[in-house]
Amino acid sequence: MSTISRPQNPEENLRVKSVFDDIRATRGSDFINNLWYYLAFDPELLENTWRDVKEVMAKPSHLDAVTKELIYAAVSIANSCEYCIHSHTAAARAQGMTDKQYAEFLSIVSLAGRTNNLLNGIKVPVDKEFDHEKIIEK
């Protein structure tokens, strides 16, 4: 169950069609995933969301493509976003992630969940040595 209806023929709206065309061209694929169909209920929200996703995920980058998808998936797991977990895990695989890398990703994400709770529970004070300004002064 979704809180809005999937529009029937969203591309009859020219703003929607323009975004969908750009998604297809950017990805080199005809497949448009559900996110964009549902967002088509409001062309402005669709346009802004796609613009930001394209800007961050599809532009020339200082991080490799698998790393970017894994960072995205890590946040999505911590936020319990089922759709995002599936879409970005699938994207990481499509970018070449191996099973070994995925197992290692899961071990890091779960270790983080463990120490996050441990440190938030004790409220360990942050070491001065982690201070960026101190580090760059050296």
Closest to a copy of itself by CB, 24 vs 114, is 114
Answer yes or no: are the C-beta atoms of 54 and 26 closer than 8 Å: yes
Residues 6+ away with beta carbon under 8 Å from 18: none
Closest to a copy of itself by CB, 11 vs 43, is 43
CA distance 57 to 50: 10
Q: In the complex, what is the shortest distance from the CB of residue 74 to a copy of itself, in angstroms, rounded to a whole number?
A: 4
Answer yes or no: are the C-beta atoms of 67 and 32 closer than 8 Å: no
Q: In the complex, what is the shortest distance from the CB of residue 25 to a copy of itself, in angstroms, rounded to a whole number?
A: 19
Q: Is 42 in a helix, a strand, or coil?
A: coil
Closest to a copy of itself by CB, 21 vs 114, is 114
Q: In the complex, what is the shortest distance from the CB of residue 13 to a copy of itself, in angstroms, rounded to a whole number?
A: 14
Q: How many residues does the chain have?
A: 138
Closest to a copy of itself by CB, 14 vs 103, is 103
Q: In the complex, what is the shortest distance from the CB of residue 1 to a copy of itself, in angstroms, rounded to a whole number?
A: 5
